[in-house]
Amino acid sequence: MVERLKQVFCTALSENNIDLRDTKNFAEVFPQVFLRTSNIKRIYYQGVSAINVSFTLDLFSKYSGEKEILDLEQEISTIARNLVDTNDFIMGMGLRSCLIQDDDSTGINIKHGILIYDFVLSEVLE
């Protein structure tokens, strides 16, 4: 179920022209977005089973201002929210955290946004 969510999320981001990667090998093209699974929690309660999955997205802008990160956050949040409406195994989602900080690891001063999204998935017990 987690792999299915990750695939659906990655496909939706790519279809919306977000340069998504899963390893931090910086290219010359910015902005860049890196996706990683940061937490999985399984919940069982009186015959009901759900999975809470957290994805962390690292966003690197092409300049030192925050606007690009804020615009990407809004776009990614809309895409994530639409996944709930179009995939019956996704019960809900939320943006848990949005942190923007300075980053000079690429040799220039850019902004690094860290977004954490939580998804709640329904799991069928057999």
Q: What is the pTM of this model?
A: 0.87
**How many residues appear in the chain?**
126
Identity at 115, one-letter amino acid code:
L
pLDDT by residue, tens only, the chain of 126 residues: 899 999 999 999 999 999 887 666 656 667 888 899 999 999 988 888 899 999 999 998 877 789 999 999 999 999 999 999 999 999 999 999 999 998 776 666 788 999 999 999 987 665
Q: What is the pLDDT of residues 63-72, one digit of tens each?
A: 778 999 999 9
Q: In what order do the strands lie in the sheet with 32-45?
A: 20-21, 32-45, 48-60, 110-122, 90-103
